[in-house]
Chain A
């Protein structure tokens, strides 16, 4: 299964991620 987030945010929104990385619930996805 898959979860897809689609959202609007200001231009300076940043993801703290790398493609392919494992992630766990509660960890940061991104912020301004």
Chain B
């Protein structure tokens, strides 16, 4: 009896230790939030509280890609017809989906949640603005926008990430809008762009801007789980190149974007670059835990969220070839791609 009690106690100790440390950590974070709210109430500017390296490392150690693929497998299971309405109605209620805009309103039509998640809209549901040169490529929430300063892009107010880490280093070849003449780099051999020295950093931004007097602008759009998850061409442009960064699939909701600096450089993403009437143009789709897969309709070679990948690598693919010098022409509002569950 005596040894049994000790053994049990010994076994239970790690559990209690985890509960105590976890509870203490959560409690401290709540206290920090309370204190920030009080400071804001007094009208004081509260600097964004960024995650420490150990917190980012701990978060990155969570097998988010595995979880994402498992979530995707689960949502590929075909639901029996009687179960479809309850399941999709719960999703609609939870995330405020407006089914009146969906091309197919009948919930029984969608065999599983993946199909429901990738639903299309009625063409007239989203008229494309003819007046302005750049439109929103998707539904969502504007996290941040403005001019890019000193090669740093703001993911949310006050929290930045490096432009060069995000887009990756300039790639050889005159067909690219980066326009560098560096020796060719084997696809997938890219090292993290942060390897560039500080002086190159600022020149990186200057090399993206191809015309005298122009500036570099950015806009970050967050798609919530209930949003329409296809995306379209934001302007008339030519897509010349795709760079796929396999990576983590941390959540990208605004709260996490305020907490983890360089979040978008950690996550799996697909960078499309090319040019429009004013020069360089790029659209990047960044994956997240529940939405780990990214499809680009004209790019059958692209496979995202696959099990095998080497950290920090990226894969380049050029849409310009001997037979196609122009790249892929995209009209403003044209279907470009979609995010998929898992």
Contacts and interface: CB of A to CB of B under 8 A. Distances in A.
B133 interface: yes
Contacts of A20: 141-143
B209 interface: yes
B248 interface: no
A6 B285 CA distance: 12
Contacts of B281: 5, 7-8
B214 A17 contact: no
A4 B219 contact: yes
Given A8-B217, A27-B135, A1 B264 contact: no
A1 B252 contact: yes
B263 to A, nearest CB: 9
A15 B286 contact: no
Nearest to A7: B281
A22 B138 CA distance: 11
B147 to A, nearest CB: 9
Given A4-B264, A8-B209, A19 B286 contact: no
Nearest to A31: B132
Contact of B141 (A16, A22, A32): A22
A6 B282 contact: yes
A25 B128 CA distance: 8
A4 B211 CA distance: 22
A31 B277 CA distance: 12
A1 B291 CA distance: 6
A22 B254 CA distance: 13
Given A6-B153, A10-B213, A15-B146, A1 B219 contact: no
A13 B223 CA distance: 25
Contacts of B157: 19
Contacts of A21: 141-142
Contact of A28 (B135, B139, B144): B135
A24 to B, nearest CB: 5
Contacts of B223: 1-3
Given A3-B285, A19-B157, A25 B231 contact: yes
B270 to A, nearest CB: 10
Contacts of A32: 133
Interface in B97-119: none
B214 A10 contact: yes
B129 A28 contact: yes
Contacts of B221: 2-5, 23
A3 B271 CA distance: 10
A29 B220 CA distance: 11
Contacts of A5: 134, 137, 217-219, 221, 234, 281-284
B144 A19 contact: yes
| The 3 residue pairs across chains A and B that have the minimum distance between CB atoms | A28-B132, A31-B132, A8-B279
Interface of A: 1-11, 13, 15-32
